[in-house]
Amino acid sequence: MLRRMQSAIVQALRPQVSPVALRFADSAPANAFSIPEGKWGCVMWLLASAAKGRPAAASRATFGCLGGGTGLGFGNQYLNWPGGIECFHYFLSTGNEQWEHGRAAEAEARSQLRARALEHFVHGERYLASPELVRRFVDRLPMTDVPTRYVVLEPLDQVAAGDRPEVVVFLVDADRLAALAILAGFARQDNDAVVMPQAAGCQSIGIFAYAENRSEHPRAVVGPTDISARLYLNRQLGRRDLMTFAVAFRLYQEMEANVEKSLLAGERWQEVLAAGR
Q: Are 241 and 174 in contact (CB under 8 A)?
A: yes
Query: pLDDT tens for residues 184-207?
Result: 999 999 999 999 999 999 999 999
Question: Has residue 38 been placed in a domain?
Answer: yes
Classify 94 as helix, strand or coil.
coil
Question: Using 50, 70 and 90 to split pLDDT, how confident is the model at 4?
Answer: confident
Q: Report residue 11: phi and psi, to 5°.
A: -60, -35
Domain check: are 33 and 81 in the same one?
no
Considering only CA atoms, which of 181, 152, 177 is closest in space to residue 165? 152
Domain check: are 99 and 232 in the same one?
no
**Do the bridges between strand 194-195 and strand 150-155 make them parallel or antiparallel, or are there none, so unpaired?**
unpaired
Question: Has residue 93 been placed in a domain?
Answer: yes
Cα distances (Å, whole numbers) of residue 156 to 47, 167, 191: 12, 10, 27
Question: Has residue 205 been placed in a domain?
Answer: yes
Domain check: are 135 and 228 in the same one?
no
Q: What is the mean pLDDT of residues 170-184?
A: 97
Q: Report residue 251: phi and psi, to 5°.
A: -70, -40
Q: What is the mean pLDDT of residues 207-218?
A: 95
Question: Has residue 1 been placed in a domain?
Answer: no
144-154 as b/e: b if 16+ CB within 10 A:
bebeebbbbbb
Domain check: are 29 and 52 in the same one?
yes
Question: Using 50, 70 and 90 to split pLDDT, how confident is the model at 3?
Answer: low
- List the Cα angle 156/196/264 in 5-degree steps: 50
Domain check: are 197 and 228 in the same one?
yes
CB within 8 Å of 139: residues ≥ 6 apart: none
37: how many CB neighbours lie within 10 A of its CB?
Answer: 11
Q: Tell me the C-alpha distance between 58 and 36, whole Å.
A: 10
Final residue before a domain boundary, out of 95, 118, 139:
139
Domain check: are 159 and 134 in the same one?
no
Final residue before a domain boundary, out of 91, 107, 139:
139
Domain check: are 149 and 237 in the same one?
yes
Query: pLDDT tens for residues 227-269?
Result: 999 999 999 999 999 999 999 999 999 999 999 999 999 999 9
Domain check: are 84 and 183 in the same one?
no
Between 1 and 134, whose confidence is greater? 134
Domain check: are 180 and 252 in the same one?
yes
Give me the chain's average pLDDT, please. Answer: 95
CB within 8 Å of 56: residues ≥ 6 apart: 32, 33, 34, 45, 46, 47, 49, 50, 152, 153, 154
Domain check: are 263 and 149 in the same one?
yes
Question: Has residue 238 been placed in a domain?
Answer: yes
Domain check: are 56 and 100 in the same one?
no
Domain check: are 122 and 185 in the same one?
no
Task: Name the domain count of the chain.
Answer: 2
Q: Tell me the C-alpha distance between 9 and 54, whole Å.
A: 21
pLDDT at 277 over 90: no
Final residue before a domain boundary, out of 139, 165, 192:
139
**How high is the pLDDT of residue 160?**
86
Find the domain containing 265 and state its range: 8-66+145-275
Question: Has residue 189 been placed in a domain?
Answer: yes
Q: Report residue 221: phi and psi, to 5°.
A: -120, 120
